[in-house]
Amino acid sequence: MATSAHVLEVTTASFADDVVQQSHRVPVLVDFWATWCGPCRALGPILERLAGEYDGAFVLAKIDTDREQALAAQFQIRSIPTVMLFRDGKQVGGFPGALPEGQIRKFLAQHGVHVHTPQEAWSDDPSVRVGELRAAIAEAPSRGDLQLELAKTLIALGADDEASRVLEALPTDVFGERAAVRLRAKLQLRARVSHAPSIEALMGRVEQSPDDTDAAVWLGVRLALGDAQERAIDLLIDALRTQKYQDASGYSVSAREVLVEVLQWVEDEELVRDGRRRMAGVLF
């Protein structure tokens, strides 16, 4: 195995630094392998070549399961090769076996890992950046990452309808990416909030009538789009609990639908996991 700036041989002692801590800076693809494993020998060179081609978009961490049996046991590796992707200190995906190169590229794209391209410094002015992105997309129409950036910029300009069309037309390898899901959820929430009362009015209604689930849900939408996402989830969980025992015709907005959108929009993965766990506890 050839080590380089983008390919590391990781041990039990170095795992915390080389994988966990490093994944806060750049995605880390961990390859559990062994020298005697034929599929591992087929997969390894593909992963190493991709690490070089992606040029720092991810780091490849190679773990020899024979030498590092404690790590293999910790991650319950039952067959090799097994590949796991780490981001922000946590495992966010993976796959067993030696996948073809095309499927590996698709897996990386689904998790927001793309080939680094030459300098692409967009203008700080969103109206100018839209033009730059459109020109770049005209030259590279298959670049889903550029289309995703265009949708994000259009949202910043308030051009939600056009942003929605861009998001719906994304290539399949980008359509399901976390960033794309978040932007679609943001558009759904913004469409809802355009019909909602002011945040001050909603807070007054919730204070006066704690069982007013409509007010609680609308307030949750406004808070989620602001800087109070944890409070928004708390409100929506309480509203969901109340609505569970109400006739659906008794409220105008579904706490469950809004909570799903909020959990798709929120970026804090720990907050999202906790919210989904609490949501499941109420529903089931």
* Nearest of 4, 90, 95 to residue 43 by alpha carbon: 95
Q: Where do we find the tokens 């794209």?
A: 109
Burial class, 124, CB count within 10 angstroms (exposed 0-12 / middle 13-18 / buried 19+): exposed
DSSP letter at 87 equals: E
**Is residue 258 left, alpha or beta, with left meaning phi > 0 and alpha meaning psi from -120 to 50?**
alpha
At a CB cut-off of 8 Å and minimum separation 6, what does 130 contact? 150, 153, 154, 157
Which amino acid is located at 1 in the chain?
M
Write b or e for each residue in 127-162: b if 16 or more Cβ atoms lie within 10 A of its Cβ, otherwise e. eebbebbeebbeeeeebbbbbbbbbbbbbeeebbee
Q: Where do we find the tokens 């001050």?
A: 200
Longest dimension (CA), the chain: 69
Q: Mind spelling out the 3-state secondary structure of 167-187? A: HHCCCHHHHCCHHHHHHHHHH
Task: Check if the beta carbon of residue 34 is closer than 8 Å to that of residue 80.
Answer: yes
Task: Check if the beta carbon of residue 223 is closer than 8 Å to that of residue 201.
Answer: no
For the chain, how many residues are written?
Answer: 284
Positions marked active-site: 37, 40
Burial class, 278, CB count within 10 angstroms (exposed 0-12 / middle 13-18 / buried 19+): middle
Rg of the Cα atoms in the chain: 23
